[in-house]
């Protein structure tokens, strides 16, 4: 057997421990697949621990571990975007390949990190950064490499999906389910990153780059959380044959012609009504799934655990197994020549495109509208006339009987419309005398 591959793990929390356990459990399989021995030589942790194999060096100086001669691959699992960035850049500078599960780090600093890695002839692998154990980065960068990707839609935050699933299945309100998710350890004490969609936006930025060959542009992701979703809307959606999921979308829009500013890419995270019978609508609990529509393949779906020690360790070690093959190349030039490795963002750096990211007002989606009105004759006529004047096509209407307060919720599903048009229409609807409340709007996608 050839020489061992030496790993350093920075950070030994849940995921780091998962990686250690995976190597212990599956070492035989790893060797049978790679033909190499794989050993953890060093761990970077703040405080010494006595439950660690004495053959492994424990180092509280993470920068030193990142540069250690005793290490081929540095696995960054400390999280955050400050120290993590420093150690990753330091590892790259010292010629180490890097594996990271850190979506925030890459979404915010990936362009800089990947360029630095190219410069130093090393790879930064990040399968674990998106959708946990689902090998979606490999699928999109390699498995779908011959396709032109039109759009993708993903459940890429397990906490959000758990909450949406429980609300529908058990008829429990948002706040109630969130508390349970926190108790179960699915959601953080501060759940903002999950329920406001920031975590999903990080992952979407990465997926969009490798789908379309564009630089990372996390700051341009339109992001809407699920805190405003009520049981009422969940139930109306079901009644109409839809289910509300918190999805990230990356969509390529061809526009209407040359010089047209409607051409570009939509990057958006928001609650979405999707057809009940779509597989994506039936991905429940903390599971993640990504649906990719590409030419000529059509739709493919990838589903699995998006978080947790085992799933994340699986992705981290899949990256290590890829790097083991790279390390089999004799000279450094071979390890990183353009003809040879999968580009960090799927497309070779000099061919990344400057396709613009569309503004929210330019985005095109269908809509679910819930309008509350006094039960006066003519209100439905007023609303539908406003929509029709704005060129918005109605796909379905559900008018429930007046409830005890004398208000009638009217539910309207529309065909896809440019957001700016919808904004204008809603403004007009809300000015009608018969309308008693703000219009509730949730996007809708047929996934067709």
| Interactions with its own copies, residue window 222-281 (CB under 8 A) | 277, 279
**Annotated binding residue at 304?**
no
- Please check if 16 is assigned to a binding site: yes
Residue 93 among the catalytic residues? no
Q: Which is nearer to its own copies, 60 or 276 (CB)?
A: 276
Residue 33 found at the interface with its own copies (CB under 8 A): yes
Within 164-193, the residues that bind its own copies by CB under 8 A are none
Report the alpha-carbon distance of residue 261 to residue 78 in Å, rounded. 41
372 preceded by a cis bond (ω within 30 of 0): no
* Alpha-carbon gap, residue 250 to 188, rounded angstroms: 26
Listed in sequence order, the residues at least 6 apart from 298 whose beta carbon sits closer than 8 Å to its beta carbon are: none
Q: Is 127 in the site for its own copies (CB under 8 A)?
A: yes
Catalytic residue, from 6, 96, 203, 220: name it: 203
Count of residues binding its own copies (CB under 8 A)?
Answer: 75
Which residue, 100 or 407, has its beta carbon nearer to its own copies? Answer: 100
Q: Does 295 bind its own copies (CB under 8 A)?
A: yes
Which of 39, 63, 297, 397 touches its own copies (CB under 8 A)? 297
Q: How far is the CB of 330 from its own copies (least distance, A)?
A: 7
Confirm whether residue 12 is marked as ligand binding: yes
For residues 349 and 146, give the distance between their C-alpha atoms in angstroms, rounded to a whole number: 18
Q: Is 81 annotated as a binding residue?
A: no
Name which of 90 and 103 has its Cβ closer to its own copies: 103
| Closest distance of CB 364 from its own copies, Å | 23
- The conformation of residue 144, written as its DSSP 8-state character, comes to T
What is the C-alpha separation between 36 and 391, in angstroms, rounded?
Answer: 63
CA distances from 142 to 129, 209, 313, 332 (A): 17, 14, 21, 22
Report yes or no: 19 and 313 within 8 Å, Cβ to Cβ: yes
**Of residues 382, 368, 378, the one with CA closest to residue 422:** 368
282 near its own copies, judged by CB under 8 A? yes
Nearest-angstrom CA–CA distance, 235 and 239:
6
Rule CB under 8 A: say whether 309 interacts with its own copies: yes
Q: What is the DSSP letter of 313?
A: H
Site residues (CB under 8 A) for its own copies, limited to 324-383:
324-330, 334, 337-343, 346-348, 351, 353
Residues in region 68-87 near its own copies by CB under 8 A: none
Distances (CA, A) of 341 to 119, 338, 344: 14, 6, 9
39 is in an annotated binding site: no
> Are the CB atoms for 195 and 226 separated by under 8 Å?
yes
- Least Cβ distance, residue 18 to its own copies (angstroms): 7
Among positions 301, 394, 397, 447, the unique one binding its own copies when judged by CB under 8 A: 301
Does the annotation place 103 within a ligand binding site? yes
- Interface stretch with its own copies, choices 67-75, 131-139, 201-209, 422-430 (CB under 8 A): 131-139
Q: Residue 62 in contact with residue 44, Cβ under 8 Å?
A: yes
Q: Is 14 annotated as a binding residue?
A: yes
432 is known to lie in a ligand binding site: no
Least separation, in Å, of the C-beta of 182 and its own copies? Answer: 23
Is the Cβ of residue 313 or residue 418 nearer to its own copies in the bound state?
313
Among 11, 16, 18, 158, binds its own copies (CB under 8 A): 18
The kind and range of the H/E element at 275 are: strand 264-275
Among 4, 13, 31, 406, binds its own copies (CB under 8 A): 31
What whole-number distance in Å separates Cα of residue 373 and Cα of residue 352? 50
Cα–Cα dist 430/373, whole Å: 10
348: Cβ–Cβ under 8 A, 6 or more apart, which residues?
338
| Nearest CB to its own copies, comparing residues 213 and 271 | 213
Catalytic residues: 203
Q: Which residues are annotated as a binding site for L-homoserine?
A: 188
């Amino acid at each position: 057997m050839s020489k061992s591959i030496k790993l350093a793990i920075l950070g030994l929390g849940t995921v780091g421990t998962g990686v250690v356990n995976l190597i212990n459990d599956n070492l035989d399989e790893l060797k049978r697949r790679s033909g190499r021995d794989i050993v953890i030589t060093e761990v970077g942790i703040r405080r010494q621990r006595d439950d660690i194999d004495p053959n492994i060096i424990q180092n509280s100086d993470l920068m030193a571990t990142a540069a250690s001669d005793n290490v081929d691959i540095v696995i960054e699992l400390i999280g955050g975007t400050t120290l993590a960035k420093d150690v990753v850049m330091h590892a790259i500078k010292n010629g180490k390949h890097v594996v990271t599960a850190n979506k925030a780090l890459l979404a915010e600093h990936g362009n800089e990190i990947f360029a630095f890695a190219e410069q130093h002839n090393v790879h930064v692998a990040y399968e674990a950064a998106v959708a946990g154990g689902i090998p979606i980065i490999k699928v999109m960068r390699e498995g779908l490499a011959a396709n032109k990707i039109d759009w993708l839609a993903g459940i890429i935050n397990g906490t959000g999906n758990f909450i949406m699933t429980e609300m529908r299945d058990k008829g429990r309100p948002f706040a109630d389910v969130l508390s349970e998710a926190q108790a179960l350890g699915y959601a953080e004490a501060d759940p903002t990153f999950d329920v406001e969609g920031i975590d999903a936006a990080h992952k979407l930025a990465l997926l969009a780059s490798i789908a379309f060959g564009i630089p990372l542009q996390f700051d341009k992701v339109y992001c809407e959380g699920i805190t405003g979703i009520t049981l009422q809307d969940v139930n109306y959606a079901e009644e109409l044959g839809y289910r509300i999921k918190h999805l990230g979308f990356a969509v390529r829009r061809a526009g209407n012609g040359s010089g047209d500013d409607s051409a570009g890419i939509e990057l958006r995270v928001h609650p979405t009504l999707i057809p009940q019978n779509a597989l994506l609508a039936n991905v429940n609990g903390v599971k993640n799934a990504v649906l990719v529509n590409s030419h000529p393949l059509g739709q493919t779906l990838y589903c699995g655990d998006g978080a947790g020690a085992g799933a994340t360790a699986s992705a981290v070690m899949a990256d290590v197994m890829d790097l083991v093959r790279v390390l089999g190349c004799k000279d450094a030039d071979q390890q990183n020549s353009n003809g040879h490795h999968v580009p960090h963002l799927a497309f070779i750096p000099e061919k990344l495109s400057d396709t613009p990211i569309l503004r929210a007002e330019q985005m095109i989606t269908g809509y679910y509208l819930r309008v509350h009105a006094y039960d006066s004759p003519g209100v439905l006529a007023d609303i539908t006339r406003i929509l029709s004047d704005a060129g918005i096509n109605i796909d379905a209407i559900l008018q429930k009987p007046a409830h005890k307060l004398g208000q009638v919720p009217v539910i309207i599903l529309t065909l896809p419309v440019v957001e700016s048009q919808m904004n204008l229409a809603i403004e007009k609807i809300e000015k009608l005398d018969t309308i008693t409340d703000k219009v509730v709007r949730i996007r809708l996608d047929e996934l067709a």
